[in-house]
Amino acid sequence: MSNLADSIEGQFLTLHEFVKEAKGRLSPGNWDYLVGATETETTMLRNRAAIDAWAFRPRVLRDVSRIDVSGRFLGRPIGLPVMFAPVGGLENFDPEGGAPAARAAAAHRVPIMVSSVSMPGLEPMAKAAEGGIKVFQLYVRGDFAWIEDITRRAIDAGYDAFCLTVDTAIYSRRERDIAKRFVKPWRARATGQHFQAALNWEDVKRWKDRFPATPLVLKGIATAEDAVIACEHGVEVVYVSNHGGRQLDHGRGALAVLPEVVKAVEGRAKVWVDGGFARGSDVVKAVALGAELVGLGRLYCYALAAAGEAGVARMLQILESEIHEVLGLLGVTAFGQLDGSYLHPVAPIVPPHVHSAFPLTNLSDPGYR
């Protein structure tokens, strides 16, 4: 992967350059789908505000000449403590859909969670991610027999875990799309929403009873109460998420939810989180607050739209460099040394925005790319 990323190193030196390049390449409809959220987009803004509400407490005069940036996936070593979160319609960002992102993730030893509404589909994505860690995420569009069939296909294809999304019982109003009369192709094809609406804890129990050897992820947990119930059902991963602000409006930011969920889980399950994470410092904050993995969504989509597989590979290179820098400046040499003592609650300085993590994005100065 290094050679692929190195081939465009001079074109992309900072993460915000992927954002600017992606905007120039995408249609207005696909751009709004990527950056937008539900109704007032308040939940999306709170995702960013929650991340910015923590400041670092660095320690000094420690030997940080050698730093290990590796993470864990259900206890297994991986390249970074990040995962590509499931994104529907990746074919709108690259002609190959999610396959280039899967190849780049595998090469960098980063897991990918494959969306059931993204091309090229379950088996081709497994092949693209061959040698890497992969999770299949399902939107429920059929009865339990249908869920069983999809699960078996995922197991047979070599997926390392299975994910049920649980925060989409009702499909939200995404007004950027509505106002522009933009109909996403995968939404036009979608049927069986009532099966997702009927999904309940009894279905989770049936799934765990039927597939006890396969780790189950519940994505979309937003309270300590539901995290406790998930643990009582033997779920291996509680995934804190608000769908990037695309489902319930006026929800809490994901990083604001994370501490209560970590406390409620009490080590009975791993905790993953996504929602507005865009910089190396964001990843470090989430791990310090108890997350095993941090899901990236928009960030890898920008890179994919900007430069395909090479763009995603280069994005991971830059992100790793940012993480290495933050760990060293905090005075730690591995993620396992982090805890909440390295953070302090503060009032955010920057008004939240989908791109507020990239302050140079909107500068008109020609010296900035």
User: For residue 368, is pLDDT > 60?
Assistant: no
Is position 354 within any domain? Answer: no
pLDDT recorded at residue 365: 58
pTM above 0.85, yes or no: yes
pLDDT recorded at residue 122: 98
pLDDT recorded at residue 192: 86
Q: What is the mean pLDDT of the chain?
A: 95
Is position 337 within any domain? Answer: yes
pLDDT recorded at residue 369: 57
**Total domains, the chain:** 1
Decide if 94 contacts 304 (C-beta within 8 A).
yes
Decide if 67 contacts 298 (C-beta within 8 A).
no
DSSP string computed for 242-304:
-GGGTSSTT---HHHHHHHHHHHHTTSSEEEEESS--SHHHHHHHHHTT-SEEEE-HHHHHHH
Measured in whole angstroms, how far is the alpha carbon of residue 182 from the centre of its chain?
A: 24
106 token code pair: 């595998």
| Rounded CA separation 26/305 (Å) | 7
User: For residue 100, is pLDDT > 80?
Assistant: yes
Query: What mean pLDDT comes out for the span 295-309?
Result: 98
| Structure confidence by residue, pLDDT tens digits, 244-293 | 999 999 999 999 999 999 999 999 999 999 999 999 999 999 999 999 99
Is position 353 within any domain? Answer: no
Is position 48 within any domain? Answer: yes
pLDDT recorded at residue 188: 65
| Structure confidence by residue, pLDDT tens digits, 110-165 | 999 999 999 999 999 999 999 999 999 999 999 999 999 999 999 999 999 999 99
pLDDT recorded at residue 329: 98
199: Cβ contacts below 8 Å, ≥ 6 apart: 140, 164, 166, 169
User: For residue 185, is pLDDT > 90?
Assistant: no
pLDDT recorded at residue 183: 80
Burial (Cβ within 10 Å: 0-12, 13-18, ≥19) of residue 195: middle
pLDDT recorded at residue 191: 80
Decide if 78 contacts 320 (C-beta within 8 A).
no
pLDDT recorded at residue 208: 98
pLDDT recorded at residue 184: 72
Decide if 167 contacts 222 (C-beta within 8 A).
yes
User: For residue 345, is pLDDT > 90?
Assistant: yes
85 — alpha (psi -120 to 50), left (phi > 0) or beta?
A: beta
CATH number of 308's domain:
3.20.20.70
Q: Where in the sequence is the domain holding 167, given as residue range(s)?
A: 2-345
Query: What mean pLDDT comes out for the span 313-317?
Result: 98
User: For residue 364, is pLDDT > 70?
Assistant: no
Is position 147 within any domain? Answer: yes
Query: What mean pLDDT comes out for the span 42-64?
Result: 98
pLDDT recorded at residue 361: 86
Is position 317 within any domain? Answer: yes
Catalytic residue among 16, 243, 250, 344: 243
Q: Angle 201-207-212 (CA atoms, 0-180°, nearest 5)? A: 125
User: For residue 30, is pLDDT > 80?
Assistant: yes
Is position 328 within any domain? Answer: yes
Answer yes or no: 108 catalytic.
no
| Rounded CA separation 331/67 (Å) | 10
User: For residue 363, is pLDDT > 60?
Assistant: no
| Structure confidence by residue, pLDDT tens digits, 226-235 | 999 999 999 9
pLDDT recorded at residue 272: 99
Is position 360 within any domain? Answer: no
- List strand residue ranges (DSSP E) for 194-234, in order: 216-221
User: For residue 1, is pLDDT > 90?
Assistant: no
User: For residue 75, is pLDDT > 60?
Assistant: yes
pLDDT recorded at residue 366: 58
